[in-house]
A and B are shown apart, each in its own frame.
Chain A
Amino acid sequence: MPALEVASEAGPGTAVVTTTWDTVLWGVLPYVMVVVLVGGLVWRYRYDQFGWTTRSSQLYESRLLRIASPLFHFGLLAVIAGHFFGLVIPMAWTQAVGMSQEFYHFNALLVGGIAGVATLGGIALLIYRRRTSGPVFMATTRNDKTMYVVLTAAIVFGLWTTLASVFEGEHGHNYRETVAPWFRSLFIFQPDVAAMAAAPFSFHLHTLVGMALFVIWPFTRLVHAFTAPLHYLFRPYIVYRSRDTANGRRTTGPGGRSRDRTAAGTRSQVAPRRGWSPVGTPDRDTHNR
Chain B
Amino acid sequence: MRVMAQMGMVMNLDKCIGCHTCSVTCKQAWTNRAGTEYVWFNNVETRPGQGYPRRYEDQDRWYGGWSLNKRGRLVLRAGGRVKKLFGIFASPVQPELKDYYEPWTYDYKTLVDAPLGDDFPVARPKSLITGEDTKITWSANWDDNLGGSRDNGHLDPLVERVRRESEDKIRFAYEQTFMFYLPRICEHCLNPSCMASCPSGAIYKRVEDGIVLVDQDRCRGWRQCVTGCPYKKIYFNHKTGKAEKCTFCYPRVEVGLPTVCSETCVGRLRYLGLFLYDADAVTAAASVTDPQDLYDAQMNVLLDPHDPAVQAEARAQGIPEDWIDAARRSPVYALAKVYKVALPLHPEYRTMPMVWYVPPLSPVVDLLRDQGHDGEDAGNLFGAIDALRIPVEYLAELFTAGDTERVTAVLRRLAAMRSFMRGISLGEDPDESIAGSVGMDGQSMYEMYRLMAIAKYSERYVIPKAHVEQAHDLEELGCSLDFDGGPGMQDSSPLGEASGRPVPVAVDTFHALRERQTTDEIASGPGLRGRVNLLNWDGRGAPPGLFPDTPTAPGAGSGPGERP
Query: CB within 8 Å of B: which residues of A?
Result: 44, 47-62, 65-67, 69-70, 72-74, 134-135, 138-139, 141-144, 219-221, 224, 227, 229-233, 235, 237-244, 246-251, 257, 260-261, 264-265, 267-284, 288-289
Contact B495 A44 (CB under 8 A): yes
Q: What chain B residues lie within 8 Å of A73 (beta carbons)?
A: 89
Contact A269 B130 (CB under 8 A): no
Given the interface pairs A276-B487, A278-B34, the reply to whether A240 lies near B482 with Cβ below 8 Å is no
Contact A250 B475 (CB under 8 A): no
Which of B108-131 touch A at CB < 8 Å?
Answer: 108-109, 126-131
A-contacting 9-mer, from B168-176, B191-199, B422-430, B445-453: B191-199
Contact A273 B489 (CB under 8 A): yes
Q: Report how far A60 CA is from B129 CA in the complex, Å.
A: 9
B84 interface residue (CB < 8 Å to A): yes
Contact B96 A260 (CB under 8 A): no
Q: For the complex of A and B, list the 3 residue pairs with the smallest distance between their C-beta atoms, beginning with the closest.
A: A51-B499, A247-B478, A229-B199
Q: Report how far A75 CA is from B163 CA in the complex, Å.
A: 47
Contact B482 A273 (CB under 8 A): yes
Which of B43-100 touch A at CB < 8 Å?
Answer: 81-82, 84-85, 88-92, 94, 96-97
B373 interface residue (CB < 8 Å to A): no
Q: What chain B residues lie within 8 Å of A232 (beta carbons)?
A: 81, 84-85, 198-201
B237 interface residue (CB < 8 Å to A): yes
Q: What chain B residues lie within 8 Å of A265 (beta carbons)?
A: 531
Contact A241 B500 (CB under 8 A): no
Q: Report how far A244 CA is from B466 CA in the complex, Å.
A: 11
Q: What chain A residues lie within 8 Å of B531 (beta carbons)?
A: 265
Q: Report how far A51 CA is from B213 CA in the complex, Å.
A: 18
Q: What chain B residues lie within 8 Å of A281 (beta carbons)?
A: 105, 107, 126-128, 131
A-B contact pairs, 21 of them (CB 8 A): A51-B495, A56-B91, A72-B89, A138-B130, A227-B220, A232-B200, A232-B201, A244-B473, A247-B476, A260-B476, A260-B504, A264-B503, A268-B485, A274-B216, A274-B503, A275-B237, A275-B481, A277-B35, A277-B491, A279-B105, A288-B491
B382 interface residue (CB < 8 Å to A): no
B7 to chain A, nearest CB (A): 12
Contact A238 B205 (CB under 8 A): yes
Q: Report how far A62 CA is from B152 CA in the complex, Å.
A: 26
Q: What chain A residues lie within 8 Å of B126 (beta carbons)?
A: 281, 283
Q: What chain A residues lie within 8 Å of B192 (beta carbons)?
A: 238
Contact A235 B34 (CB under 8 A): no
Q: Report how far A132 CA is from B421 CA in the complex, Å.
A: 65
Kindly list 13 other residue pairs between chains A and B, CB separation below 8 angstroms, not including A219-B495, A264-B503.
A50-B217, A53-B242, A59-B94, A69-B90, A243-B470, A244-B473, A249-B217, A268-B506, A272-B500, A276-B482, A277-B34, A278-B489, A284-B109
Q: Report how far A235 CA is from B202 CA in the complex, Å.
A: 12
B29 interface residue (CB < 8 Å to A): no
Which of B396-435 touch A at CB < 8 Å?
Answer: none
Q: Report how far A53 CA is from B88 CA in the complex, Å.
A: 13
Contact of B241 among A56, A60, A231 (CB under 8 A): A56
B397 to chain A, nearest CB (A): 27
Q: Report how far A268 CA is from B500 CA in the complex, Å.
A: 12
Q: Report how far A95 CA is from B208 CA in the complex, Å.
A: 61
Q: What chain B residues lie within 8 Å of A61 (beta carbons)?
A: 96
Which of B193-225 touch A at CB < 8 Å?
Answer: 195-196, 198-201, 203-208, 213, 215-223
B492 interface residue (CB < 8 Å to A): yes
Q: Report how far A33 CA is from B48 CA in the complex, Å.
A: 60
Q: Report how far A92 CA is from B484 CA in the complex, Å.
A: 61
Q: Report how far A63 CA is from B81 CA in the complex, Å.
A: 24
Given the interface pairs A53-B220, A246-B215, the reply to whether A134 lies near B132 with Cβ below 8 Å is yes
A1 to chain B, nearest CB (A): 35
CB-CB nearest in chain B for A66? B90
Q: What chain B residues lie within 8 Å of A289 (beta carbons)?
A: 491
Among A50, A72, A138, chain B packs the most CB atoms within 10 A around the CB of A50
Q: Report how far A219 CA is from B482 CA in the complex, Å.
A: 25
B502 interface residue (CB < 8 Å to A): yes
Contact of B222 among A54, A144, A267 (CB under 8 A): A54
Contact A277 B220 (CB under 8 A): no
B37 interface residue (CB < 8 Å to A): yes
A285 to chain B, nearest CB (A): 9
Contact of B216 among A58, A224, A275 (CB under 8 A): A275
B32 interface residue (CB < 8 Å to A): yes
Contact A135 B485 (CB under 8 A): no
Contact of A274 among B82, B220, B496, B498 (CB under 8 A): B498
CB-CB nearest in chain B for A226? B220
Among A134, A243, A275, chain B packs the most CB atoms within 10 A around the CB of A275
Contact A50 B203 (CB under 8 A): no
Q: What chain B residues lie within 8 Å of A251 (beta carbons)?
A: 476
The proximity string for B residues 230-257 relative to A, scoring 1 for CB distances below 8 Å and 0 otherwise, is: 0000001111111000000000000000
Q: Report how far A207 CA is from B207 CA in the complex, Å.
A: 50
Q: Report how far A70 CA is from B88 CA in the complex, Å.
A: 8
A280 to chain B, nearest CB (A): 7
Q: What chain B residues lie within 8 Å of A248 (beta carbons)?
A: 478
Q: Report how far A180 CA is from B49 CA in the complex, Å.
A: 63
Contact A272 B201 (CB under 8 A): no
Q: What chain B residues lie within 8 Å of A47 (beta carbons)?
A: 501
Contact A53 B217 (CB under 8 A): no
B421 to chain A, nearest CB (A): 42
Contact B89 A60 (CB under 8 A): no
CB-CB nearest in chain A for B192? A238
Contact A62 B478 (CB under 8 A): no
B497 interface residue (CB < 8 Å to A): yes
Q: Report how far A269 CA is from B129 CA in the complex, Å.
A: 29
Contact B195 A238 (CB under 8 A): yes
Q: Report how far A71 CA is from B208 CA in the complex, Å.
A: 44
B483 interface residue (CB < 8 Å to A): yes
Q: What chain A residues lie within 8 Å of B201 (beta carbons)?
A: 229, 231-232, 235, 239
Q: What chain A residues lie within 8 Å of B481 (beta carbons)?
A: 275
Contact B90 A62 (CB under 8 A): yes
B539 interface residue (CB < 8 Å to A): no
Contact of A58 among B195, B223, B239, B485 (CB under 8 A): B223
Contact A57 B238 (CB under 8 A): yes
A85 to chain B, nearest CB (A): 22
B372 interface residue (CB < 8 Å to A): no
B207 to chain A, nearest CB (A): 5
Given the interface pairs A69-B90, A138-B129, A224-B221, the reply to whether A271 lies near B501 with Cβ below 8 Å is yes
Q: What chain A residues lie within 8 Å of B473 (beta carbons)?
A: 243-244, 246
Given the interface pairs A272-B490, A275-B237, the reply to whether A48 lies near B503 with Cβ below 8 Å is no
B16 to chain A, nearest CB (A): 27
Contact B496 A221 (CB under 8 A): yes
Q: Report how far A26 CA is from B526 CA in the complex, Å.
A: 62
B488 interface residue (CB < 8 Å to A): yes
CB-CB nearest in chain A for B129? A135
Q: Report how far A61 CA is from B129 CA in the complex, Å.
A: 12
Given the interface pairs A58-B90, A239-B203, A274-B503, the reply to whether A284 lies near B477 with Cβ below 8 Å is no
